[in-house]
């Protein structure tokens, strides 16, 4: 099954969402699913990005950029992976 995991975002709980979403993505992959992780604030994550988040908890955006991400002028553009998915798993907080 093709699964999109939405994680991260611009809320105060961004880091928690990144970690929990990456854990969900890893568990789904271990179960044999094709998984794409998408952060609405920063785009699609590579598996390397996911592994870095899980191992270090390092932010992909610096603290100031996270606050600024909520004020972006451009609206969210739906990545082509979302309509192609069988399931979208929201791990946004």
Predicted local confidence at residue 93, as pLDDT: 85
CB 66 within 8 A of CB 42: no
**Residue 73 has what pLDDT?**
44
Do 64 and 41 touch, CB atoms closer than 8 A?
Answer: no
Instruction: Inform me whether the pLDDT recorded for 76 exceeds 80.
Output: no
CB distance 13 to 92 below 8 Å: no
Q: Is 92 exposed, middle or buried (0-12, 13-18, 19+ CB in 10 A)?
A: middle
In the chain, domain spans: 2-90
Is the pLDDT confidence value at 72 over 90?
A: no
Q: Using CA atoms in the order 39, 45, 50, 52, what is the torsion angle rounded to 10 degrees?
A: -110
| CATH number for the segment(s) 2-90 | 3.40.50
Q: Residue 54 has what pLDDT? A: 92
Mean pLDDT of 31-44: 93
């Amino acid at each position: 099954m093709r699964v999109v995991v939405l994680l991260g975002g611009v809320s105060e709980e961004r880091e928690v969402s990144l970690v929990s979403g990456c854990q969900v993505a890893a568990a789904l992959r271990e179960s044999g699913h094709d998984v794409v992780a998408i952060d609405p604030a920063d785009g699609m994550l590579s598996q390397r990005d996911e592994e870095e988040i899980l191992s270090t908890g390092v932010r992909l955006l610096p603290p100031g950029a996270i606050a600024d991400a909520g004020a972006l002028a451009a609206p969210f553009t739906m990545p082509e992976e979302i309509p192609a998915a069988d399931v979208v798993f929201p791990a946004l907080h």
